[in-house]
């Protein structure tokens, strides 16, 4: 049967989700746990290939297995052998043709910022520390201009050389009060490093280093050189994949 699972992980110590030879990955951890529990060689498909250091609360994966017990037993067995920074929160049987990436309607990410003069060690793994004051209202003004279907070439590159850079962005919202800020962004799909590039550029707006008009001009130019510095990965989390 094909199983769909929702997976959460702290990406700090991983080279990303996708299996690779030179770094530990979330996919490798999941496949090792599945092999140990099911005694099968199992390949995991994922909804999104999160980069090194990026976290997830709602990554969706799928895999095929001849598991003969209940799905609840499978979930408990996997969580018993997975590393402490990876956990399976839900499992369910799905149609044999289900693909977590190609069947997804949208994905929602959250970027966390700790905006205070002094850094907070307890936040260092999951949020970006910005010491200078941020103008959240003007960042939100610029973010709203991203919503809709448009060419986002300024903020990322397509998965394949020469691929289409048009995406449909559904949500771009800054939330929070005082020092803790979050940016939620949802789209039908994202370009490579698009979210982190958008966040980094919006932070330039919030710091007064770029006006809203300059932000719009950069977006319209479809020129990667006009984007701000790419925000680091540790503030980013894949929150949800919708089907």
Please indicate, yes or no, whether residues 111 and 221 belong to a single structural domain of this protein: yes
Three-state SS string over 126-151 comes to CCEEECCCCCHHHHHHHHHCCCEEEE
- Told to judge if 51 belongs to the known catalytic residues of this protein, a careful annotator would answer yes
The Cα angle at residue 17 between residues 146 and 60, in degrees rounded to 5: 70
What confidence tier does 177 reach under pLDDT thresholds 50, 70, 90? confident
Question: Taking the model in full, what pTM does it have?
Answer: 0.95
In a domain, 100, yes or no: no
Range of weakest confidence among 102-111, 155-164, 171-180, 182-191: 155-164
Please indicate, yes or no, whether residues 77 and 127 belong to a single structural domain of this protein: no
Residue 72 pLDDT: 97
What's the CATH number where 161 sits? 3.30.70.660
How many domains does the chain contain in total? 2
Domain end point (choices 74, 94, 114): 94
**What is the average pLDDT score of the chain?**
97
For residue 11, give the nearest of 44, 41, 48, 43 by alpha carbon.
Answer: 48
For residue 235, give the nearest of 51, 97, 5, 71 by alpha carbon.
Answer: 51
pLDDT digits 0-9 by tens, 107-125: 999 999 999 999 999 999 9
Are the CB atoms for 43 and 19 separated by under 8 Å?
Answer: no
What confidence tier does 178 reach under pLDDT thresholds 50, 70, 90? confident
d(CA 11, CA 89): 16
The parent domain of residue 43 ranges over 2-94
Catalytic one among 13, 51, 85, 223? 51
């Amino acid at each position: 049967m094909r199983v769909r699972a929702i997976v959460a992980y702290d990406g700090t110590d991983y080279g990303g989700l996708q299996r690779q030879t030179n770094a530990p990955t979330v996919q490798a951890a999941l496949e090792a746990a599945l092999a140990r529990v099911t005694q099968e060689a199992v390949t995991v498909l994922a909804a999104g290939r999160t980069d090194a250091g990026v976290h997830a609360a709602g990554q969706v994966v799928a895999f095929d297995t001849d598991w003969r017990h209940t799905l609840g037993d499978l979930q408990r067995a996997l969580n018993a052998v997975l590393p402490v920074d990876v956990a399976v929160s839900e499992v369910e049987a799905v149609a044999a043709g289900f693909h977590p990436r190609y069947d997804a309607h949208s994905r929602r990410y959250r970027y966390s910022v700790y905006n205070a003069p002094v850094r907070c060690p307890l936040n260092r793994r999951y949020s970006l520390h910005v010491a200078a004051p941020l103008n959240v209202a003007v960042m939100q003004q610029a973010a709203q201009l991203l919503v809709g279907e448009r060419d986002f070439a300024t903020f990322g590159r397509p998965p394949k050389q020469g691929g289409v850079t048009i995406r449909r962005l559904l949500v771009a919202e800054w939330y929070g009060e005082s020092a803790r800020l979050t940016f939620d962004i949802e789209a039908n799909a994202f370009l490579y490093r698009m979210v982190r590039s958008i966040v980094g550029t919006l932070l330039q707006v919030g710091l007064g280093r770029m006006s809203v008009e300059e932000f719009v001009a950069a977006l319209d130019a479809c020129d990667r050189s006009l984007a701000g510095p790419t925000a680091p990965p540790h503030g980013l989390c894949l929150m949800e994949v919708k089907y």
